Amino acid sequence: METVIKTVLRWGVFVLAVAATTAWVVLSFTYLNRLGWYGILSLEPGTLASTLAAVATPPAALWLVLMVVAQQQELTLLRKMVVDLGLTMRRGQDQAEVNGRALLELAAAAGRSATKDALSIALDDLSSQAATVAEHLGVLDSDSLDLAWARYGAGDCWALLNPFLTRATNEADFAERLTKALVQDGPAQVSAKSFVRCVQTLRSHDHGVGDQRLLLQILDDGPIAQVDKLLASVSLGTDQPQADEVQSRAQNLEDEGAETEGDTMADRLGPQPTLFPAGSRPN
């Protein structure tokens, strides 16, 4: 609306200026016509110059003033346009910075999501391998294994690892018995090796930055690390003093015939070697 008003006023001033100039020119020619050519030529040079100046000065001055005012308006408009352009560029830069930060945040969120998904898959694999070992060696019977899987699905991520830690805490010779049973059971041994390799792969990545420090602590001291130590004795081709010691102690037990009557193959839960005597339930 303001632009329309300014345009109307501008054209109105222009029309008035043209009308005033036309009227002045008509009056000037009328006056000169009354003098005639002989009267004009008979004037003194100074008088003739004054007359011509008096005729030409008013319209020239009017249009000069109008031109100055128009230039001032154009300069004002140009200054406003430059200021608006600067503000637009500044807003564009701010928006570019916001978009850049948003892209960085999206990239970081995507990285965190990918890491979370990878860790979730790794935890599922570790739990699956631990469940296989527990099922084959009798650390968990069928009902307890189903219950552990149900707890795992409900959010207890250590449900399939805690039975190993509970047995290791309550039974002093659990590590030796576990190693001995692993040596006798091929599928459980394969699962144990897969568990150890997966833990080693997780440790080989850099998780010690920012919000991943807790993961590094879990890999070093948590249930995964403790179960890894129990199963490390079957990781062939690695030099692990503790695993060798456990393997040696298990071999000694086997050589000395330290098996109790309840641990014979006839009393096991199924054809696989088991850590449970017949009719017993896991703690």
Residues 80 and 130 grouped into a single domain:
no
Contacts of 31 (CB under 8 A, 6+ apart): 55
- Separation between Cα atoms, residue 11 and residue 8, nearest integer Å: 5
In a domain, 272, yes or no: no
**Which is more confidently placed, 48 or 264?**
48
In a domain, 39, yes or no: yes
**Which is more confidently placed, 168 or 213?**
168
Contacts of 274 (CB under 8 A, 6+ apart): 137, 138, 181, 268
At residue 265, does pLDDT exceed 50?
no
Residues 163 and 82 grouped into a single domain:
no
Residues 150 and 245 grouped into a single domain:
yes
**What's the pLDDT at 37?**
77
**Token representation of residue 268:** 């096991």
pLDDT band at 203 (very low <50, low <70, confident <90, very high): confident
Residues 163 and 49 grouped into a single domain:
no
Reported as a single tens digit per residue, the pLDDT across 90-111 is 999 999 999 999 999 999 888 8
Last residue of a domain, one of 103, 133, 159: 103
**What's the pLDDT at 255?**
54
pTM score, whole prediction: 0.52
**What's the pLDDT at 242?**
45
**What's the pLDDT at 267?**
35
Residues 39 and 116 grouped into a single domain:
no
Question: Dmax of the chain from CA atoms?
Answer: 155
Q: Alpha carbon of 192 to those of 124, 136, 145: distances in Å?
A: 14, 11, 17
In a domain, 41, yes or no: yes
**What's the pLDDT at 97?**
92
Residues 135 and 198 grouped into a single domain:
yes
Reported as a single tens digit per residue, the pLDDT across 211-228 is 566 677 777 778 888 888
Residues 53 and 142 grouped into a single domain:
no
At residue 209, does pLDDT exceed 50?
no
Contact present, 266 and 277 (Cβ < 8 Å):
no
At residue 273, does pLDDT exceed 60?
no
Question: Residue 263's closest CA among 192, 178, 200?
Answer: 178
At residue 236, does pLDDT exceed 70?
no
**Which is more confidently placed, 45 or 23?**
23
In a domain, 279, yes or no: no
Average pLDDT of the chain to the nearest whole number: 77
The CB density around residue 223, as the number of other CB atoms within 10 Å, is 17
At residue 270, does pLDDT exceed 50?
no
Report the SS3 class of residue 282. coil
Residues 33 and 173 grouped into a single domain:
no
**What's the pLDDT at 94?**
92
In a domain, 280, yes or no: no
In a domain, 235, yes or no: yes
**Which is more confidently placed, 55 or 270?**
55
**Token representation of residue 239:** 């030099």
**What's the pLDDT at 235?**
55
Residues 61 and 125 grouped into a single domain:
no
Reported as a single tens digit per residue, the pLDDT across 104-152 is 999 988 888 887 888 888 889 999 999 998 888 888 888 888 999 999 9
Last residue of a domain, one of 63, 78, 103: 103
Phi, psi of 254 (to 5 degrees): -70, -40
Determine the structural domain holding residue 228 and report its residue range.
Answer: 111-267
Reported as a single tens digit per residue, the pLDDT across 239-248 is 444 445 544 5
Residues 84 and 190 grouped into a single domain:
no
Residues 95 and 115 grouped into a single domain:
no
Last residue of a domain, one of 54, 84, 103: 103
Percentage of the chain beyond pLDDT 90 is 14
- Separation between Cα atoms, residue 257 and residue 54, nearest integer Å: 139
Residues 93 and 117 grouped into a single domain:
no
Q: What is the CA radius of gyration of the chain?
A: 49
In a domain, 274, yes or no: no
**Token representation of residue 219:** 């890999």
- Separation between Cα atoms, residue 73 and residue 278, nearest integer Å: 104
**What's the pLDDT at 268?**
37
Helices (H), the chain: 2-41, 45-137, 142-153, 162-170, 174-184, 186-204, 213-221, 223-231, 241-256
Structural domain count of the chain? 2
- Separation between Cα atoms, residue 45 and residue 29, nearest integer Å: 19
Question: Residue 187's closest CA among 238, 138, 136?
Answer: 136
In a domain, 128, yes or no: yes
Contacts of 109 (CB under 8 A, 6+ apart): none
Contact present, 182 and 234 (Cβ < 8 Å):
yes
**Token representation of residue 80:** 């406003």
Report the SS3 class of residue 257. coil
**What's the pLDDT at 275?**
54
Reported as a single tens digit per residue, the pLDDT across 77-88 is 899 999 999 999
**What's the pLDDT at 211?**
54
**What's the pLDDT at 263?**
44
